[in-house]
Amino acid sequence: MQRNSAIVLLAIWLGITIPALAQTQQNRVAISPQHVAAAMAEAGWRVNAAQVKLLSQVTSAAHDAWLQVVQVTHWQDHQLKVELRCHDPRACLPFYVLVNQGGTADKPGQISPAAAVADETAPALEMTAEKLLFRSGDPATLTFADKGLSITMPVVCLQSGHRGQKIRVSSTDHKRFYTGEIVGPGLLKATAL
């Protein structure tokens, strides 16, 4: 008798839970490359939706989810890996996208002459110059790149600056100091050890 009542209770619980889960999935809204491009524009990057490659299907519980750029790092030749999240952590999980730089050089917004001739249709990934990207005390990622070897490390900014400026940074334990050139939100390129 107890076993039968347990089975009945389990069936009732599943009858309530499964439709509720299905309804939750139906109310989710897909996050598109346009949403990502808008979030990157808000962070200071000039990107269009054609440059954004979603690595998986990403959905949000909110119809008007506010996306934030968490980190931008170099991925491969002419590509950046961008970590994004919803401002409200209940709306979506953090996710990554790839952004094609469309023939840009090391600095966002600068196009090498050969790449410009080879690919005139691909828009350049640019950074707007008016926005202060780093303030003293901000966390960032410093990239060391030389002959196929790329090393990234977390650092703390010791100075404020705009894209293209060189600022002093330190390791997170403040034992080593470096100089880095600002290439984007959260991203510096090492210029001197």
Mean pLDDT for the chain overall: 77
DSSP string covering 13-28 = HHHHHHHHHHHHHHT-
List the structure tokens of 3.
């076993």
Amino acid type, 161 = G
Residue 14 clears pLDDT 80, i.e. is over it: no
Q: Is 34 helix (H, G, I), strand (E, B) or coil?
A: helix
User: Maximum Cα–Cα distance for the chain, whole Å?
Assistant: 81
Contact in structure between 119 and 110 (CB atoms under 8 Å):
no
- Number of H helices and E strands in the chain, helices first, is 3, 13
* Confidence at 122, pLDDT banded by 50, 70, 90: very low
Q: What percent of the chain has pLDDT over 90?
A: 25
The pair phi, psi for residue 2, each rounded to 5°, is -65, -35
Domain ranges of the chain: 1-28, 31-128, 131-193
3-state class of 78 per DSSP?
coil
Task: Give the residue, 168 or 115, on which the prediction is more confident.
Answer: 168
Helices within 55-126 (DSSP H only): 113-118
Q: DSSP assignment, residue 77? A: T
Report whether pLDDT(119) > 50. no
Class of domain 131-193 as given by CATH: mainly beta
Handedness of CA 140, 151, 105, 67 (dihedral sign): negative
Please compute Rg for the chain using Cα positions.
22
Range of lowest pLDDT (72-81, 109-118, 130-139): 109-118
CB 52 within 8 A of CB 193: no
pLDDT, average across residues 112-116: 37
Q: With left for phi above 0 and alpha for psi between -120 and 50, is residue 62 left, alpha or beta?
A: beta
One-letter amino acid of 6: A
